Every structure is written in C-alpha cells, then in structure tokens.
A and B are shown apart, each in its own frame.
Chain A
Amino acid sequence: MPAVSWLRKNYLKLLPLPLVLLGLTVYLLLFRKDSTWEEILKRGSIAVCLDPSYPPFEYTDEATGELRGFDVEMAKAIGDYLGLKVEILTVGFDGLYDAVKGRKCDVAISALPYDPLLTQDVAFSISYFEAGLMLVVKEGEENIHSPDDLKGKKVAVEWGSTGDVEARRLKIKLGELEIKPYPTVEEALRAVKEGQADACLADAVSAYSYWGREGGVKVIAPALVSTPYVAVVNIKNKALLGKINEALFHLRKTGYIHSLAEKYFGVRPANLWP
C-alpha cells in the first residue's frame, strides 16, 4: 500500500492536475483550430454536394449529361473567388446534411433553406436567394402593396400548398378574403394574369419562373414567409464558413447573383435575399 500512503501525504500536490486537464479540454473544445480550410487550400479544390433534381437550381442537361443550374454556376463562382477548383458531387436531397456532417464534401449548395432547428448540427452561410412565399399581382396593379391590402380580394393559391396555408391565415386575420384554389401553381398565377383573381400567393421559384416565362404579373417583396436558400458547411468548419460568406457577399455586391437570377428566371427581382 505504499502508493496509497504516498497519495495521502501528497494529495495537495495533485490538486492542480484535474484543473489542468479541464482547462486543456475546454481549450481543445473551444479554441482548437479547424484545419479544413488549410486542407482545401492544400489540395486546391473545394468539394460541393448538390442534388441535381431541382431545376433551375440544379439539374442534369439531358443532351450533354452535364450539371447545370443557378447553384452549379454559383458554386463555380465561389470557387473562382476563393481561387479553388470546384469538384461537384451529386448526393440525394435527403443525404445532403449527412454528406456535410460526414465530410463527404466541404459544402452543400443545393437550394437548401435555412433551418433554425439544425443550427446545432451544421453551419449556415448568409442567404443567396429568398425562395419564400411571395405576393404576386397583375402587372400594372397599383393598389396592392402588402398582404393587408388583400381585404375583400380574390386570392389564387395552389390547393394544399404553403400559399394555401397562408391565405387561410390571412382570411382569419382580414375577415373578408376569397380564396380561389387551383390544381397547380401555374394555373393560380395565370388566374392573376387573366384577371380571375386579384393576387396569388406562390413560392418565389414558381413566381419568378412564371413571371419570366409568361409576363403579365409582378412579384411584390418582401416574402410573406421567408425561406432563404443558404450554403451549408460542417459546424466545425468556421474558417470555411467565413470564406464562403465572404465569397457570397462579394457575389451579392457585384450583382453576380442578380445576373444568375436573370439568366435562369428571365427576370431581375429587386430583393433576392431577406
């Protein structure tokens, strides 16, 4: 039992040991430098995950088999800004977060919405596209500027959609409001263009697509329900997140993202991010 008797005599000398271990753990947890960014710089390329099943954001060109879309071009622009090659990996939509968490790729850029319930699992960039619920009116309409102006109006929605949910909510709030449900969002938007409805509540992607393709309507910002698309990185990759945000901020400022919207939707919306 000499060890026990030594401990009895010298336990005071050992007291700082747990404190040192605790301090070291705290340091490692809080201040350990993430090396992902250095690794990316070393290999000279950034791995981007996306699910090419959501045009115009990401899709496969049937003729050439190449990946195309808003997100594909934006990923390349981010790579250019950071001086990196972009390596694109296709992952199913439901696997995108896991791909980032499991470091299968460095970043997911795939029309992913910001989700406050996932902020402990992954890190989100600043937004590059507001895909939320928009108020759409006929071109030249000057009396409807916000949802509050919909009192007594006919509002077209895609039956069962988030626009439908919001219209039902507005009806309770405003009292007088006639909801006109349509089987598709295109038909709901056409009803506005053709004067069968005063306004339509539709998601931004559908609204901009219709506006650019058919004309005759306009989209009123801001979104009634915000759904900002963001890039997603591993929660530990703080340096990478900073670089992605820097690149996105640059692309926002230089008008590049607006030019992408114009290319893929045929319109240049005023407010592309919340």
Chain B
Amino acid sequence: MFTGISKRLKKPLLWRGLILLIILWVVTRPAPIIVTLGPPQKVVTINPKIGVHTRLTDEVEEWKIKRTLQMVREMGAPWIVEYFPWGYYEPKKGVYNWTHPDIVVKHALNQGLTVIARLGFVPKWARPKDSVVSYLDPEHYDDFGDFVYAFVEHYRGKIRYIIIWNEPNIALEWGYRPVDPEAYTELLKVAYRRAKEADPEVQVLAGALAPTLAPPGDPWGMNDLDFLRGMYRAGAKDYFDILAVHSYGWTFPPDDPPAPDKVNFRRVELLRRIMEENGDAQKPIIITEGGWNDHPRWSKAVRPAQRVEYTIRAYEIALKEWEWCQAVCLWAFRYPWATHTYQDYFTFVAVDFTPKPIYFEVQRYARGELAQEKLP
C-alpha cells in the first residue's frame, strides 16, 4: 500500500497540485485581525460624571472590545460598569482564568476609562444542581468571598470599584427565592472583608437595587426603599463604601419629582434620604444602571427625541445638583448581538457599531457644544 502512495507522490503533477493547493489556502484564508493596544488615551469631557454600562462579557473578538471602549471614550464618558461573572473565571474551586477580563481591563484602562466591576454569577460547583446562576446559599458565601479576594488582588491598582451582586431585591436575581436584605447583608459583609484584605483601597459598592414598587409580601421582589432600610437594620452600614443605584426614568422626564409610589430617575433621592437617616451621608452614590428606552411599541418607552433630551439632562443633574453622586452609568452602551426585544432600544450604539443619534448628542454635550443650543 505504502509503495503505491510513494509511487504516486513521485508524479510531478501531483506535487504541483499539492503545492498549488497549499498556496491557495495561504492566499485565500482570512487574515488574522491584529489588535494592538495603541497609545494611552484620555477622556475629554465637560462632565466627569458621564458613564455607561458596557456589555463586553460575551464579546469574543478583541477588536470589538477595543472598538467599544474607544467609542465610549470618544463619546466623552470616563466611567464604565462591566459585568465580571464569577462562574466564567473560576470554573473549578481555586482555578482562575483571567484571559478574557484581562483583555477588557487592559483596553479600558488604555482608553482612560475607570472600570466599575459588577461581580456575581454563581459557578455550577457552588450551587445545587438545576439552580439558576443567581442562587447562592450562605454555605457558599465564603467561596464567593474567595473569588472577590482573587479578583481584587488580580486587578489591584487597575480596578478600584466593585459591585457586590446585582438587584438582590428581586427574586430573579436572588435565585428565585424570597428576597432577604439580611441574607444579602451577610453576603456583603463577607465580600467586603475579603475585598479589603486584598486591597484596602478598593471601593465596595452595595445594593444595585432594582427600582420596584413591589407591595409587602410580593414573592417576586421587595420595594428598593424597604430593602435598603432592611440592609441598614441588618448592619450593612460598615460594609460598603458607595451605594450603587439603578435609576430608570421609564416615561417620566428626569426632573419629575421623586415619590415612594413612583419609579422615576429621581427616585435615587429617596434612597439618598435613607442613607442620611442612617448617618451615611458622607458616602457617595453611583448610578450603575439607568436611563430611558425609545422602543416604538414598549409601554415604558419614550420618543427618541425625549430619550436624547432626558439622557443629557440626567448627566447634567448629576453634575450640577447631586454633589453626592459620583457617576451616572446608563444602560447600555452596545449589545454584542441584537436581543430582538425592547432591550435593543436602550443602547447608544448598534450591534454593528453604528452610532445612534443619542451617541452623537451625548458626545456634543460632553464636548460642550450643546451648551447654547436648544431644539427648534
């Protein structure tokens, strides 16, 4: 058999054919995209509180990560919130893989952005079979603490802000169990201690509560104001440096006054009042999600022009009126793929990186070009 093959290989035509195939393969294969870090950049803006929530967790290609962060910087936003799922980086207890988050962080820092890292997403090994990724039993709080320690230590000097969990006041984000401010506070205590062990300078953000008007006893969630009061009662005060707040405007303009029975942008002022009542006035707030949606058919959406106007006004309120608010990071800069739902109408940039008008208008605002202009 081998003799046959060697005879065939001796034929010059066959050799030429093989060489031609190799050449064709080399010439026609797609060239790898080389992504360089580029020179270090700085964000130029008249409002240092402008921020956005990016969605790079599931963005595979490095050029897209870089492009996203470049565009954030070019829009004039110095802050980003990004999700760093525990389950992605610690697939086995004590085994860490920082490859993807390292790419995100290096490009973000090179663009001159400040990263606020949202931590959550329970790995399979730390939760019961068939449970959801937001399910964490108290017996695994220490495991989460170990991850927080490892994360903060790995990004020491690079990431100075971390958010402990997301929207723990709704069942969806609490493993579909009844929500519990005491249990969340216990988790916060563990995470806070471990974060400070790894880096005493890191700022721990608590809360990131979902704005909700859930009535008492609602199985799906707890009113965010009640939940924060519950956190203070459980002793959360000494275990966070900044309160993270989600502040959606729905159909209300940003100047709509706050009220306990209304979800609007200024609801954050009610949470602020609770902080003051609990002797926590010296701590700042960062809005880590929020904004308006301009889907043509969603009942909680506004018109595109209103979204532009409200968004810029929201950034302006934080700058001029809310001394205690350190940054406003609105949802969401860009999705890696279309969701085919109203969610797509929260973004500043389309999936293919086409900037929406809101992007250009925020950019003009950040450059100070909108100061004297008004709509016709």
Q: Chain A residues in contact with chain B, CB under 8 A?
A: 51, 53-54, 93-94, 97, 115, 117-118, 158-161, 164-165, 168, 180-184, 203
A93 touches B298 (CB 8 A): yes
A99 to chain B: closest CB distance in Å? Answer: 13
In the complex, A165 Cα to B358 Cα: how many Å?
10
Interface segment out of the listed B68-76, B181-189, B334-342: B334-342
A158 touches B342 (CB 8 A): no
Q: For residue A164, which residues in chain B have a CB less than 8 angstroms away from its CB?
A: 304, 357
Knowing A97-B340, A180-B376, A182-B375 are in contact, say whether A159-B357 is a contact too (CB < 8 A).
yes
B200 to chain A: closest CB distance in Å? Answer: 44
Q: For residue B296, which residues in chain A have a CB less than 8 angstroms away from its CB?
A: 54, 203
B297 touches A165 (CB 8 A): no
B340 touches A117 (CB 8 A): yes
Interface segment out of the listed B12-20, B55-63, B157-165, B305-313: B305-313
Knowing A93-B342, A165-B354, A165-B356 are in contact, say whether A160-B297 is a contact too (CB < 8 A).
no
Further pairs besides A93-B297, A165-B356, A183-B305: 7, Cβ < 8 Å: A93-B341, A93-B342, A115-B338, A160-B305, A181-B305, A183-B375, A184-B303
Number of interface residues of B (CB under 8 A): 25
Residue of B nearest to A187 (CB): B376
Q: For residue B305, which residues in chain A have a CB less than 8 angstroms away from its CB?
A: 158-161, 181-184
Instruction: Report 8 cross-chain contacts, Cβ distance below 8 Å, ordered by A residue.
Output: A117-B337, A160-B304, A160-B307, A160-B308, A160-B358, A161-B357, A181-B305, A183-B303
Q: For residue B342, which residues in chain A have a CB less than 8 angstroms away from its CB?
A: 93-94
In the complex, A158 Cα to B302 Cα: how many Å?
13
Q: For residue A160, which residues in chain B have a CB less than 8 angstroms away from its CB?
A: 294, 303-305, 307-308, 356-358, 361
Knowing A93-B297, A168-B357, A183-B375 are in contact, say whether A159-B338 is a contact too (CB < 8 A).
no
B159 to chain A: closest CB distance in Å? Answer: 33
In the complex, A97 Cα to B340 Cα: how many Å?
9
Which residues of B in the span 295-345 have a Cβ within 8 Å of any Cβ on A? 296-299, 303-309, 337-338, 340-342
Q: For residue A118, which residues in chain B have a CB less than 8 angstroms away from its CB?
A: 340
Q: Chain B residues in contact with chain A, CB under 8 A?
A: 294, 296-299, 303-309, 337-338, 340-342, 354, 356-358, 360-361, 375-376
B376 touches A182 (CB 8 A): yes
A54 touches B375 (CB 8 A): no
Q: For residue A182, which residues in chain B have a CB less than 8 angstroms away from its CB?
A: 305, 375-376
The 5 A-B residue pairs with the shortest CB-CB distance, nearest first, are: A160-B304, A159-B305, A164-B357, A160-B308, A160-B357
Residue of B nearest to A156 (CB): B376
In the complex, A165 Cα to B356 Cα: how many Å?
6
In the complex, A117 Cα to B303 Cα: how many Å?
26
Q: Which of B297, B307, B308 contacts A53 (CB 8 A)?
A: B297
In the complex, A222 Cα to B296 Cα: how many Å?
22
B233 to chain A: closest CB distance in Å? Answer: 37
Q: For residue A203, which residues in chain B have a CB less than 8 angstroms away from its CB?
A: 296
In the complex, A51 Cα to B296 Cα: how many Å?
13
A159 touches B297 (CB 8 A): no
A207 to chain B: closest CB distance in Å? Answer: 14
In the complex, A206 Cα to B59 Cα: how many Å?
36
In the complex, A184 Cα to B338 Cα: how many Å?
26
A91 to chain B: closest CB distance in Å? Answer: 13
Residue of A nearest to B342 (CB): A94
Q: For residue B309, which residues in chain A have a CB less than 8 angstroms away from its CB?
A: 159, 183
B330 to chain A: closest CB distance in Å? Answer: 14
In the complex, A180 Cα to B375 Cα: how many Å?
9
Knowing A53-B299, A54-B297, A94-B342 are in contact, say whether A183-B357 is a contact too (CB < 8 A).
no
Q: Which of A115, A165, A168 contacts B340 (CB 8 A)?
A: A115
In the complex, A118 Cα to B339 Cα: how many Å?
10
A227 to chain B: closest CB distance in Å? Answer: 11
Q: For residue B306, which residues in chain A have a CB less than 8 angstroms away from its CB?
A: 183
Q: For residue A168, which residues in chain B have a CB less than 8 angstroms away from its CB?
A: 357, 360
A159 touches B340 (CB 8 A): no
Q: For residue A180, which residues in chain B have a CB less than 8 angstroms away from its CB?
A: 376
Q: For residue A181, which residues in chain B have a CB less than 8 angstroms away from its CB?
A: 305, 375-376
Q: For residue A94, which residues in chain B have a CB less than 8 angstroms away from its CB?
A: 341-342
Knowing A161-B304, A183-B305 are in contact, say whether A51-B357 is a contact too (CB < 8 A).
no
Among A93, A158, A159, A168, the most chain B Cβ lie within 10 Å of the Cβ of A159
In the complex, A232 Cα to B297 Cα: how many Å?
18
